[in-house]
Amino acid sequence: MDIGFIGLGKMGMNMVTRLTQGGHKVVAYDRTADLITQAEAKGATGATSLEDLVSKLPQPRAVWVMVPSGDPTEETIRHLRIILEKDDIVIDGGNTKFHDDVRRAADLQKHSIHYVDAGTSGGIWGLQIGYCLMVGGEKGPVKQLAPIFTTLAPEKGWAHVGGHGAGHYVKMVHNGIEYSMMQGYAEGFELMSKSEYNLDLGNIADLWMHGSVVRSWLLELAAGALKDDPKLESLKGYVQDSGEGRWMLMDALDKDVPVPTLSTALFTRFRSRQEESFSEKMLAALRNAFGGHSVRR
Question: Active-site residues: which are they?
Answer: 171, 178
Q: Apex CA 179: angle with CA 174 and CA 181, to 5°?
A: 90
- Give the number of other CB atoms < 10 A from CB of residue 254: 8
